[in-house]
Structure 1
Amino acid sequence: MLASPFKAGRELTLGIIGGGQLAKMLAQAAYRLGLRVAIIEHGADSPAGRMTQLEFPDGWTSPEALNAFVDASDIITLENEFVAPELLQAIAQRRPVYPTPETIARVRDKLVQKQTMAAAGIPVPAFAGVATPEEVLSFARTRGFPLVLKSRTFGYDGYGNATLDTAEELPRAWEMLWQRVQHEGILVEEFVLLQKELAVIVARSRRGELAVYPCVETVQQDHVCRVVYAPAPLPEPLRRQAQELAVACVEAIDGVGVFAVELFLSQDGTILFNEIAPRPHNSGHYTIEACYTSQFENAIRAVCGLPLGSPEMFVPAAVMVNLLGVRSGSGIPDAVTEALRVGKAWIHLYGKRESRPRRKMGHVTAVGATLEEAYRLAQQAADGIMW
C-alpha cells in the first residue's frame, strides 16, 4: 500500500479520467496494489465508476465535478487521449498527471503524432494535413491511389477513417469526415501494402525505466481489431526490430505510463509507424493472463513511481479475440454458459449498459502450446457469447 502525499494517514488514490473498460481494468489492477480509485466520467454507472465510491458522473466538463475529482485524487492518469491538453495543464497545477499534458499534446492530434515521429527519424508512411478535397487530390497525384483519410482527433476503432481507391470516392468520404471533424482537420496518408499489422506495448516510468512487451500481430476487420496473436508469428529479429522502434516512439514523446505503438509490416519487409495510444490498449489485453505483469499493473507502477514488473510471457502462446456487439440493445449477453466450459480461456465482460454493432463489449484470452491451439480455444469461447 502506498501512502497519500496529500492526505495524512490515507492510502494513495489513483484518479482516472474516463470510466470505460480500460479504466475498469486499471482499477482492478490498482486494487490489487492496495490503492484507492477515483473515476470521473460523463454519466453514472460506467464500467469503472460502479467499482468505486469515488465516482464523479458529471464529467470533466463540469468545473464542480472536476474540482472534487482532483481533490479526491493523488495521482491522475487517463483512459483515453481525447481530453483537451489545456484542461490537463490546469489539473497538473494541482496534481501530478501522467502521461503529462505535453505528451498528450504530441499524440492527441494524429498529424502532430506523425510529424513528431518523422522528426525523430522514425519511419512513417507519407502523410499530409489537408483542409480541402483539392489538397487530397494534390497528394494523390504524387502518391497515387489507394490512400487513407483520417480525422486528426477523436478517431478510434475505424471511426473517422476512410480508404479511397479512386478519386470518385473522395466527395462522399470527405463530406462524412468533415461533418465529424470540421475545424479539427483531416490527415491523408499513403496506403501501405501490408504483410501484417503489429503492436508493441511499452511501459516507461517516471525514472525512465522501460518494460517492453512482446511484439504481437493484430488482425483488423473494418478498421476494428478482431484478434491479437502473442507473440507475432515472425522471425525473432523482426520482432526485436519492432520492439526497438516502439521504444524510440515512446521516448520521442517523453512518455510516462503505458503506450501502445501500432506498426505496419509492409510487403517489402519494412516496419513503419502507424499510431501511438498513450494508455493501455486492446492489443495488450492478453498480458493479463499471459505475462508476469499486465499492461494495467505496469501502467499504475509507471505513473506512481514504482519499479516496473516483468513484461515477459510465461506461456508459449496467447490469443485474444474481441467480443463485438452485433445488435443494438441491452449490454447483457444472451448466454455465456458454453463459453465458460472452455478450459484455458478467460472471459472479460466489460459491463457496458448498451450494445451496438461493432462496439467492444468484452474479450476472450486463451493460452496454449501454440498460437493455433490458443486461437482455437479463444474462438470457441467467443462463439458462445453474443449480444
Structure 2
Amino acid sequence: MKRILNTDPIPNLPTVGIIGGGQLALMLVRAASQLGLHARVIDASPICPARRDAADFCEGNPESPATLDRFAMNLEVVTLENEFLDAALIAGLEAEGQEVLPSSRTMSLVQDKLAQKQTLRNAAVSVVDFEPVNDGTPIQELESLFGLPFVLKKRCHGYDGTGNFTVHRAEEWDAALNKLGGRESGLYAERWCPFERELAVIVTRSKKGEHVLYPVVETRQRNHVCEQVIAPAAVSGSIAEQAAHLALKAIEAVDGVGSFGVEFFLLADGTLLVNEIAPRVHNSGHYTIEACECSQFENHIRAICGLPLGSTKLRQPAAMVNLLGKTTAAGAPRGLAEALAVSGAHVHLYGKHHAKRGRKMGHVTALGSTSDEALATAQCAADFIHFDQPNLI
C-alpha cells in the first residue's frame, strides 16, 4: 500500500478515513477540509478523483483486510464512499475498536437489496412487492405472483440499472438469469411498478439519533442513470410530508448514521413506495452544495464526527444536471469556457481521466426564482460540455 501525506492534521480535530476515492469521496474530502479536518482516502486507483484533494492518500485494495487495517491506523472514524465493501470487512475493523459509520450492521442490512427490502417491510415502510429467487424458484411461480412483466434483480452490486432485467415474456427467463450471473449470484424478483415520477430525500442522522431532512426532489433518469434533479419536487404538501416521514423511518430502520439517499416511486394515485436506500451521500443531493445552507457532504462529516448538524434550508429553487460520458474518450472536457460563461451556472468536474458511456464526469447546478428557471440555466451550461476527445493512451 502506497501512502502519500500532503499536510499535517490540525491538532485535537478528528482524522476522518474515507474508503473509496471517487467523486463522492472528493466532495466529502472538500467538506472535511472546510471544517479543518484531516481526511485520509484509500483507493486501488492512483488516479482516482479524491487523490488530489485528500490530505493523506493510500493507494491499495480496500478489500484486503491487512491493507484496510493499515489504512485505519490512528483514525478516529472511518466512513464509506459506496456500499460495495463487504460488511464483514467493516465488522473486522470494528472488532479492533475502529469506529466505522455507517456501521457493519447498517451495511449488512442495506448492501443486500433483498435484506434491505425485508428490513423496510418489517418496519412498515411501503416498498414494491418482492420475492426471493431460490435455486428451485420457477418462473411460473413469479408470474403467478406478479404477472408479466416483472423485474429480476441482483441482491448485491447492482448500480444504475446494471443489476436489473425486466422479464416481459416467459421465454426471456433464461436470458435474464444468464445476464445477472445465474441463481448462484443471489437474485430476487419485484412486481413491475408503473410509477409516474421518481423522488428522493436526503436524510442525515447523527450518532445520537438526531436528524435533518433535505427537501423532496424529483430525479429524472435516462437509461437508468440520473440525468436531472429538480429541487424542490413539484408535489403536494401531503406527498412531501409523507416522503419525509418514510425516508426518516427507513433510515431509522437500518440505524443509519451519516447522509443517506432514499429513492421513491410516486404512483399516479399518490402512493409512495421506497425503491431503495443508498447508505452514503447521494447523487440526488449534489444540488445542496450551492442550494442549501449546509450541504449533504458537510452534514455527513458533521454526523460521523459527532458535531452539530447544519441547516438544510433551501436558499432558492435549484436544479442539477449530470455530465455523463457518451462514448469512450479522454476525460478532458470540451466547452468548459462556454459553460462557465453561463451566468448562474456552477460547474463541478470530477477530474476523471477517462470517459465512457453513462459515466458521471461532473455536474452543473443552478439556482433560480423557479425550478424551471434553474433547470434551464443548468442545462444550458451542461449542453456546452462534451467528453469526446480521443484517448492518448
Alignment TM-score, normalising by the size of structure 2: 0.93
- Is 2:14–2:305's contact at 8 Å kept on the other side of the alignment? no
- Give, in whole Å, the separation in 1 of the partners of 2:11 and 2:363: 38
Cα distance, 1:329 vs structure 2: 2.2
Q: Which moved more, 1:139-148 or 1:255-264?
A: 139-148
- Give, in whole Å, the separation in 2 of the partners of 1:368 and 1:242: 24
TM-aligned CA distance change 1:139 to 1:65, over 3 Å:
same
Question: What letter is aligned with 2:117?
Answer: K
- Is 1:145–1:164's contact at 8 Å kept on the other side of the alignment? yes
Aligned to 2:117: 114
Q: Which moved more, 1:108-117 or 1:140-149?
A: 140-149
Aligned to 2:229: 228
- Give, in whole Å, the separation in 2 of the partners of 1:298 and 1:251: 17
TM-aligned CA distance change 1:132 to 1:32, over 3 Å:
same
Cα distance, 1:146 vs structure 2: 1.5
- 1:301-312 alignment runs, 5 A limit: 301-312=302-313
Cα distance, 1:9 vs structure 2: 4.1
Aligned to 1:369: 369
Residues 265-307 of structure 1 deviation map (CA, whole Å, 9 limit, x = unaligned): 1122110111001100000001111000000000001100011
Structure 2: give runs of 5+ residues left out of the alignment: 1-8, 388-393
Q: Which moved more, 1:37-46 or 1:271-280?
A: 37-46
- Is 1:130–1:136's contact at 8 Å kept on the other side of the alignment? no
Residues 213-265 of structure 1 deviation map (CA, whole Å, 9 limit, x = unaligned): 10111111211111111000111111111001100000101111111110111
Cα distance, 1:354 vs structure 2: 1.2
Q: Which moved more, 1:86-95 or 1:31-40?
A: 86-95
- Is 1:319–1:366's contact at 8 Å kept on the other side of the alignment? yes
- Is 1:124–1:273's contact at 8 Å kept on the other side of the alignment? yes
SS at structure 2 position matched to 1:178: coil
Question: What letter is aligned with 2:252?
Answer: E
SS at structure 1 position matched to 2:180: helix
- Give, in whole Å, the separation in 2 of the partners of 1:209 and 1:189: 33
Q: Which moved more, 1:168-177 or 1:220-229?
A: 168-177
Cα distance, 1:153 vs structure 2: 0.5
- Give, in whole Å, the separation in 2 of the partners of 1:63 and 1:88: 9
Q: Does 1:29 align with 2:31?
A: yes
Aligned to 2:352: 352
- Is 2:355–2:361's contact at 8 Å kept on the other side of the alignment? yes
Aligned to 1:145: 148
SS at structure 2 position matched to 1:361: strand
TM-aligned CA distance change 1:131 to 1:327, over 3 Å:
same
Aligned to 1:262: 263
* Superposed CA RMSD: 1.6
Q: Does 1:135 align with 2:138?
A: yes
- 1:1-387 alignment runs, 5 A limit: 9=11, 11-92=13-94, 93-132=96-135, 134-178=137-181, 183-315=184-316, 317-387=317-387
Identity over the aligned pairs, expressed in percent?
A: 47
- Give, in whole Å, the separation in 1 of the partners of 2:135 and 2:147: 17
Alignment TM-score, normalising by the size of structure 1: 0.94
Structure 1: give runs of 5+ residues left out of the alignment: 1-6
- Is 1:133–1:174's contact at 8 Å kept on the other side of the alignment? no
Following TM superposition, where does structure 1 have runs of at least 4 consecutive aligned residues deviating by more than 6 angstroms? none
Matched length: 378
Question: What letter is aligned with 1:52?
Answer: A
